[in-house]
Structure 1
Amino acid sequence: MDAHGRALTSERGERVMNTQDVPSYPTLRTNPFDPPAELAARREQEPISRIRYPDGHLGWLVTSHSLARQLLSDPRFSARSEFKRAPVARPGVDPYFGVPALPGWILDMDPPEHTRIRQQLTGKFTARRMREMRPQIERECLRLTCGAAHTAVELTEGLVVRTDRMHENLGLTGSLMMSERLAAVLAPRRRQQLRAAPDRPAR
């Protein structure tokens, strides 16, 4: 609708959504262990839809598995953090979105930088290399498991697990977990790194 309450249409007579009508990413859950009902409905009825990010930017929400695969393999789309926005408001994540990634952070890179770094790492994780490392990995896992088991016995003495309270807490926090707290703690360090990093030319 425009300012006068009239529906907006394209030149071909199709209805056009007013940007003011674009909803935010659905987060309301009736069960903390299930996705939001609105998100599930979009997956069934509208696999590609518009969303509004908390900072006001508009984006697209893709909920179809097949369409998501096409999108992720399409070189016209970028993984660079300069173009990313947090879909939901989370404490401490602002320094990680809308700015260049730190050197070597492969998850926020596009080819050819991503390809170059990935090729350097690929040879370290071949099936043959993993088989050769298996004895060492098994010994380390055993050492850590035994140590963790011993510590767990001490920590759990007298411990009472209240699953009902855990369920209530998940509902109160919107299913936010430890990662949110870590992001809030690490955010100031990220800001310091960005301030200390030299200016980078635009790519």
Structure 2
Amino acid sequence: MPPLAAPLRDPAPMLDRALHEWGGRDDLWIFGYGSLIWRPDFAYAERRAATVHGWHRALKMWSRVNRGTPECPGLVFGMLSGGSCRGMVFRVDHSHARQVMVNLWQREMVLGVYDPRWLNCRTPQGAVRALAFTLSRKSPSHTGVLADEEYRRIFAQASGIYGTTRDYAEATHAELQRMGIHDRALSRLIALAREPR
């Protein structure tokens, strides 16, 4: 697979659109399903367990910066259409939500891979509309189906500016377990990573 030398799409108009759709009057809600759960890197006023229907968490997005390199791509989570996803929503006070979104774009949208969407999230305290970073199966960063041996190789070799794919997957798995969320697909991949090569 060829390395990505430049963003797939310009992230700036996507940020402008998301800011416009948020509107700036109300507090901002953000849905976390991967590293945002255990490393949000922004101040929030409230967080709640949440479920999104119509999307699921999948370790099926190539990472050529954060958890891999162009020469040895790693993997990060994306939200793919279908199924459901349990995660966490964070409420950010509207007074600093714009800056939080700018910072999120610098973290999540460097290559313009994700499709930011406003999703309806069910929480024990009621439904909220939250920003989530989804992934299209048509994206060149979507891995498609990977063989178990390919996952093992990636877990053994891939590392980027934030560390290894394996550490990222295990940290997410541990936090989901702490929250009482059982992700069978991820548990199976973690077991693969821990098998002797």
TM-score, structure 2 as length reference: 0.27
Q: Larger relative CO (CA 8 A, sep 6+): 1 or 2?
A: 2
- Structure-1-length-normalised TM-score: 0.26
Structure with more helix by fraction: 1
